[in-house]
Amino acid sequence: MNNEEIKSKVLGILASVVPELEPAELAPDKSLRDQLDIDSVDFLNLVVGLSKTFGVEIPETDYRHLYTLDACVAYLATRAKA
Amino acid sequence: MTDFLMPKLGADMTQGRLVEWFKKPGERIARGEVIAVVETDKANVDVESWVAGTLEKILVAPGGDWMPVGTPLAVIQTEAGAPTAAPPAFAAAPMPPPAAAPIEATSIVAPPRPPTPSAPSPQPVPAAVGERLRISPIARKRAAELGIETSAIRGTGPDGRITLEDVERAARERPPAVPAPAAPAADKRQRMRDAIAAAMARSKREIPHYYLATTIDMSKALAWLAEANAKLPVTGRLLAGVLLVKASALALREVPELNGFWIDGRARPSEAIHTGVAISLRGGGLVAPAIHDADKLSLSELMQRFTDLVARARAGSLRSSEMTDPTITITSLGERGVDAVYGVIYPPQLALVGFGKVVERPWAVDGAVGVRPLVTATLSGDHRATDGHRGALYLDALDRILQEPEKL
């Protein structure tokens, strides 16, 4: 799975968490929380979605790697199963 | 036979719109079963029936006008011996109308009317102006449920006491409810702001708030949480907020005067602890539905209820009991970076608990200064019901409980 494919899937999960998401308006290097006004419940739903979709276990200590779209893609690229 | 009324799903609700019926005439209804969807200024709400029986007749079709709280929507043939109603606190004891808008449902639905020629004998005795109204508790509850202004009812009981039959008769004799004017063209967001404005202005006008704050060391709670979550699959993990909700509920057992409602000029503590959790909605506004019996739930149960409640609140599918049952409200703005929140009590509740951001700061323990994760917990209390001393005991209990997270 290349980075574009990962990014597309991450955006799909984000859209399920934040229905009003406009992918084109999302700055990939800016905080997801700040841009999308997501709270801890939303963030947990995002982590659950990423974990299920990519088949990776995401410990709480790794949450700090998931604060931007680019960071999510980079994190998952190194862990996602093909 | 009883009327199924437009429910009052919160102190800020004056009208609603029937969206959908889940039952047809002739179908059986279980007590607590969702039978309709009502649109409020805040959300679409699944409305439960408080009686068991059979749906006799539908009076209001879906998709019509906005109707005042208390408007009969359907008639239910109740089962013999079944209670006619177990209305929630808002319906059982509505707050008196504010000095200004919004207009209370009771004044819309049941305008005073003169006695009719068919009024039964003996001649009823009206309560004199300024005289304490003589009315049985059951009759008062029923009047509130039916949206009947009790001062306009002529009592036929001893010394003019208003009986249940008097209330039922007044309901039968009143003119058909006049639909509320259609909601203004303002969008949903504006109507939600109007509803919040009405409730909060009413709270500040009627409730003499006192405010207390304390700083709580969250070291043990967060360490316990991290250890617990490390053993759990991602779908079972707990949020720190759930620990705060559970601790807040447990602390109410020690200071129960803060848990309940202000009704008819006095505090009515509730034995059950139903914590309303403030949930911000996308696009603005908030709701604070109940997690029932929060003190009795395990943390994992509480987490499931909480996440389910957030999802349904944002999807607009809350249940009526969740809107009417909260006995206290808990709010947290810590995720938005504020240090402390001094909330406005949601009437007719007696208190509100607030949490700010967990921040690492220097903190002295046993004579040594260290860096600890700290949170500011606040209490807004109704000074008519409790004094600051009791409020302080509550915050002390909350702090103590959070120091033993393994017992939550």
pLDDT single digits (tens) B273-330: 999 999 988 778 889 999 999 999 999 999 999 999 999 998 888 998 899 899 999 9
Q: Are residues B55 and B147 in the same domain?
A: no
In the set B383, B389, B396, B399, the catalytic residue is: B383
Q: Do residues B358 and B276 share a domain?
A: yes
What are the DSSP E strand ranges found in B198-349?
209-217, 260-263, 266-269, 275-277, 279-280, 286-287, 290-291, 318-319, 328-332
B146 & B231 share domain:
no
Same domain, B370 and B223: yes
Host domain of residue B149: 137-173
- Catalytic residue check, B383: yes
Q: Cβ of B62 under 8 Å from any chain A Cβ?
A: no
Residues of chain A contacting B, Cβ within 8 Å? 18-20, 37, 39-41, 44-45, 47-48, 51, 57-60
Q: Are residues B249 and B291 in the same domain?
A: yes
pTM over 0.80: no
> Is there a domain that residue B108 lies in?
no
The CATH number for B372's domain is 3.30.559.10
B209 shares its domain with B309: yes
Domain boundary among B17, B51, B86: B86
Alpha-carbon dihedral sign for residues B68, B73, B77, B79: negative
Instruction: Give the residue among B91, B248, B109, B47 at the shortest CA–CA distance from B240.
Output: B248
DSSP element (H, E) containing B346: none
- How do residues B14-53 score in pLDDT, each as one tens digit? 889 999 999 999 999 998 889 999 988 877 888 988 889 9
List phi, psi (to 5°) of B332: -135, 125
Same domain, B67 and B209: no
Say if strands B290-291 and B275-277 run parallel, antiparallel, or are unpaired.
antiparallel
Letter for the amino acid at A23?
A: P
Structurally, chain B folds into a number of domains equal to: 3
Whether B387 is a known active-site residue: answer yes
Q: Which of B282, B277, B286 is nearest to B322 (CA)?
A: B277
Listed in sequence order, the residues at least 6 apart from B394 whose beta carbon sits closer than 8 Å to its beta carbon are B251, B252, B254, B255, B258, B351, B379
Residue found by looking up tokens 């049985």 in the block: B136
B192: in domain:
no
DSSP H helices, B231-357, are 240-254, 299-315, 320-324
What value of ipTM does the predicted structure carry? 0.88
In this structure, the answer to whether residues B358 and B215 fall within a common structural domain is yes
The H or E element that residue B115 is part of is: none
The answer on B162 and B29 residing in a single domain is no
pLDDT score of B106: 26
Nearest to B14 by CA among B141, B111, B142, B101: B101
Is residue B27 domain-shared with residue B143, that is, in the same domain?
no
| Residue linked to tokens 């200024």 | B41
User: Each residue of A26-77: pLDDT tens digit?
Assistant: 999 999 988 888 899 999 999 999 999 999 999 999 999 999 999 999 999 9
Q: Which residue has the tokens 């240090």?
A: B339
pLDDT computed for residue B145 by the predictor: 63
B209 & B80 share domain = no
Chain A CB within 8 Å of residue B338 CB: no
